[in-house]
């Protein structure tokens, strides 16, 4: 079945052809007709399934339609009216969604879209809004800065999309979503997308949606195009093994995931000392620094991007060949999101996990989620019980001793016991997990 069967405008069909979209994905086939029919949506869809097009295409279609049956003549839509609001949890996802909308509407000059997010100057965003916008993609914090301080009215919004709703809950944005619902047009349609259907998501949906269509095309299994490997290694030697794998195999583009910002920063320094060009990507970095790191990684200027789970959702890096879990995620579902950065669009990918003995329970939890076993193997010289290099033995016998500059750099805090991110928001209120 092609996109022609969905009855989209010729200009949209032309744009899809230009960007190589031929056959709709399952989420697109399921969601687009429901949105066109005016239904509220609760869809379970992971990143990489084509969900942005699933909601963006019918919304572009409806706000450019010359024969809009849903509104009377006094309430016709126009390019100067803010009609669609898309809420996302992260800056990167907001930027990516808006870029996709630009692609989908490239032959519809009346469509004006803007992404607003924190960590960047507010003035260009305000200027773009004041010039006329009908699709606004926003993170909650910046949205309410503009609403509260610059008098942006949301009363003309007829379509509300809440993307990555489970992540929104994790970050404590529930009250922001509820506030938006009170500010937009009373006669509106809401679409909620989530990678998980937890009890909290269902409770939020009960409050936000009216007789919603439930669509579930997501699975917690990993893509068949991704080869998964797991290496058992002493926690203290993970950085050493990572550098060796990159150098030995001459890998040129590797995304490495850590669970903590401190680990990411420390690992980036280690890689630099080994002569491997890398950068870090996490919430303590400015938006400019994150954008630069991502662009340099995409363009090949960097071999390694060390990231926290902030990059596990929403980032689309074309033909990324490999991801490595330097630390296993604390939430087993995040494993699926992490390795979903590779093996996209039918291409082959590889996911490698470096697993310490202390992470055995995490590994078992992941296996339960993906419904398959990850067989632990060892790299020669890194087997369990293998003697540690002399520098580690020296440090163990005398913790105050440092390694000479010409020697292999001192791998600080080799126990791996970094403090967890203290800044991670906690869930509160009626959507909190029951203890």
For 135-179, write each residue's pLDDT tens digit.
Answer: 999 999 999 999 999 999 999 999 999 998 988 888 888 889 999
- Band of the pLDDT at 391, cuts 50, 70, 90? low
Torsion of CA 285, 286, 292, 297, to 10 degrees: 20
As a whole number, the mean pLDDT across the chain is 83
- Band of the pLDDT at 204, cuts 50, 70, 90? confident
What is the residue extent of each domain of the chain?
Answer: 3-216, 226-397
Q: What b/e sequence results for 18-29 when a residue is b if at least 16 CB atoms lie within 10 Å of its CB, and e otherwise? A: eeebeebbebbb
Residue 134, pLDDT above cutoff 80: yes
Evaluate the CA torsion angle 132, 54, 221, 212 in order and state its sign: positive
CB count, 10 Å around CB of 255? 24
pLDDT at 237: 93
Average the pLDDT over 243-250 and give the result.
95
Residues 6+ apart with CB under 8 A from 82: 129, 133, 134, 136, 152, 153, 154, 156, 157
- Band of the pLDDT at 228, cuts 50, 70, 90? very high
pLDDT at 75: 41
pLDDT at 393: 55
Residue 285, pLDDT above cutoff 80: yes
pLDDT at 333: 83
Position with higher pLDDT, 193 vs 223: 193
**Closest to 215 (Cα-Cα) out of 7, 63, 45, 378:** 45
CATH topology of domain 3-216: Rossmann fold (3.40.50)
- What tens digit of pLDDT does each residue of 62-98 get? 998 743 443 444 344 344 589 999 999 988 889 989 9
**Closest to 334 (Cα-Cα) out of 146, 161, 167:** 167
pTM for this model (two decimals): 0.68
pLDDT at 57: 97
**Closest to 230 (Cα-Cα) out of 46, 362, 389, 417:** 362
SS3 99: helix
Alpha-carbon gap, residue 9 to 337, rounded angstroms? 33
Position with higher pLDDT, 101 vs 371: 101
User: Percent of the chain, pLDDT > 90?
Assistant: 56
Alpha-carbon gap, residue 24 to 54, rounded angstroms? 9
Say whether 226-397 and 3-216 share the same fold: yes
- Band of the pLDDT at 312, cuts 50, 70, 90? confident
Superfamily of the domain at 226-397? P-loop containing nucleotide triphosphate hydrolases (3.40.50.300)
Identify whether the C-beta of residue 137 lies closer than 8 Å to the C-beta of residue 86: yes
Identify whether the C-beta of residue 224 lies closer than 8 Å to the C-beta of residue 293: no
């Amino acid at each position: 079945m092609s996109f022609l069967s969905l009855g989209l405008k010729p200009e949209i069909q032309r744009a899809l052809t230009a960007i190589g979209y031929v056959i709709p994905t399952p989420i697109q086939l399921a969601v687009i007709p429901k949105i066109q029919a005016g239904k509220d949506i609760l869809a379970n869809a992971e990143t990489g399934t084509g969900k942005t097009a699933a909601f963006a295409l019918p919304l572009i279609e409806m706000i450019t339609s010359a024969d809009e049956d849903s509104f009377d003549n006094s309430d016709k839509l126009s390019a100067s009216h803010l009609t669609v609001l898309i809420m996302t949890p992260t800056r990167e996802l907001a930027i990516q969604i808006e870029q996709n909308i630009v692609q989908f509407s490239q032959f519809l000059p009346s469509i004006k879209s803007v992404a607003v997010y924190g960590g960047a100057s507010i003035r260009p965003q305000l200027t773009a809004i004041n010039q006329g916008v009908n699709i606004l993609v926003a993170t909650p914090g910046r949205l309410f800065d503009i609403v509260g301080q610059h008098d942006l009215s949301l009363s003309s919004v007829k379509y509300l999309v809440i993307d990555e709703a489970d992540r929104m809950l994790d970050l404590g944005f529930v009250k922001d979503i509820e506030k938006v619902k009170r500010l937009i047009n009373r006669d509106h349609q809401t679409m909620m997308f989530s990678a998980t259907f937890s009890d909290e998501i269902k409770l939020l949906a009960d409050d936000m949606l009216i007789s919603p269509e439930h669509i579930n095309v997501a699975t917690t299994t990993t893509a068949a195009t991704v080869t998964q490997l797991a290496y058992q290694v002493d926690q203290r030697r993970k950085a050493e093994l990572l550098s060796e794998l990159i150098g030995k195999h001459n890998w040129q583009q590797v995304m490495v995931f850590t669970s903590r910002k401190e680990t990411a920063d420390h690992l980036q320094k280690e890689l630099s000392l080994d002569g491997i060009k890398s950068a870090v990507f996490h919430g303590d970095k400015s938006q400019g620094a994150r954008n630069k790191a991502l662009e340099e990684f995409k363009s090949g200027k960097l071999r390694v991007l060390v990231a926290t789970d902030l990059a596990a959702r929403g980032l689309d890096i074309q033909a990324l060949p490999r991801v490595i879990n330097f630390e296993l995620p604390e939430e087993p579902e995040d494993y699926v999101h992490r390795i979903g950065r590779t093996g996209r669009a039918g291409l082959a990918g590889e996911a490698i996990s470096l697993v310490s003995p202390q992470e055995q329970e995490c590994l078992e939890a992941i296996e339960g989620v993906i419904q398959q076993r990850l067989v632990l193997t060892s790299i020669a010289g890194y087997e369990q019980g293998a003697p540690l290099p002399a520098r580690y033995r020296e440090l163990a016998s005398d913790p105050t001793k440092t390694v000479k500059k010409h020697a292999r750099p001192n791998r600080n805090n080799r126990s791996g016991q970094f403090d967890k991110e203290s800044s991670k928001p906690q869930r509160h209120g009626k959507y909190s997990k029951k203890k």
